[in-house]
Structure 1
Amino acid sequence: MQKTPIGKDSQQLLNAILEGIHKIKGKDIVKIDLTKINHSECNYFIICHGNSTTQVDAIAHSVERTVEEMVGEKAWHKDGYQNSVWVLLDYADVMVHVFQHETRKHYNLENLWADAATEKIQTEN
């Protein structure tokens, strides 16, 4: 079964998520398009990392605030704030993964979903 291509609402959600990450200077932002992958939980993964638990926590909270302000949505589920080495924010169509650098390297989600289209998002300097 083919998933629905990105619509206006999903694009607004993606833009808000990326804006929230940029505000706290999330590193190595990647968008993984899962729309052509059967049986995946969502349409997109957004992955980034921070340099400390404090930055990971700040990035994830920034995403939550920015999405709520720009799109009016709250995460359906969130996990990982208790230790902030990997915070997951589930927005149904989009799952946001905010890692500490070493944890990101260990789980290597980009490689796990290597058959999906991957786009590196440019950050503002």
Structure 2
Amino acid sequence: MTKIKEPANKRFEESYTGSKVSSKDMVEVITEALLSKKGQDVTVMDVSELTTLTDYFVVAHGNSDVQIKALADAVEDDLREKMGERAWKKEGFNTRSWIILDYVNVVIHVMSKEKREYYSIERMWNDAKITKVEDKPAS
């Protein structure tokens, strides 16, 4: 289970994804998948009020190209198995330093720490509602 650090009165906004699956529900599955493979600094950015491109960006980084691929694979597998969703577009599986999975209303960026620091997506979208996601401690 994940623990999302955000104001208690605010959860992800419901949005239309073109299917019966809400963007909010997709984000929950995505963050669980990333955490299951030890994704680092999992961050959700609600950009729905800033752009018409997508509702959410989910950003995480891995410690190696193998982990980056494993993170992206986990997201793809879980969205397909749990929600019947397939990526509209995906890029970066050859180089594995920055993989992008585009599900139209949710775009996932899985990258190396160096790429993340250099391109700083969070800083570029600093007006977005940003939520840091942490793994819940085992009880």
Q: TM-score, normalised by structure 2?
A: 0.82
Identity within the alignment, %: 33
Q: Is the 8 A contact 1:53 1:100 kept in 2?
A: yes
Which position in structure 2 is the counterpart of 1:102? 114
Q: Give 1:40 shift.
A: 4.1
Q: How many residues align?
A: 120
Alignment equivalent of 1:70, drawn from 64, 71, 82: 82
Asked if 1:36 is matched to 2:49, the reply is yes
SS in 2 for 1:41: coil
Give 4+ residue runs of structure 1 displaced > 3 Å after superposition.
none
Which structure has greater helix proportion?
1
Asked if 1:23 is matched to 2:36, the reply is yes
Whole-Å Cα distance in 1 between the matches of residues 72 and 25 of structure 2? 18
Deviations 1:67-89 (A, max 9, x none): 11111100000000001000000
Residue segments in structure 2 that go unaligned for 5+ positions in a row: 1-12, 16-20
Deviations 1:16-55 (A, max 9, x none): 1112111111000000001111x34100000000000000
Alignment equivalent of 1:118, drawn from 82, 105, 130: 130
Q: Is the 8 A contact 2:23 2:55 kept in 1?
A: no
Q: TM-score, normalised by structure 1?
A: 0.91
Q: Is the 8 A contact 1:22 1:124 kept in 2?
A: no
- Partner amino acid, structure 2, of 1:27: Q
Q: Is the 8 A contact 1:44 1:95 kept in 2?
A: yes
Residue segments in structure 1 that go unaligned for 5+ positions in a row: none
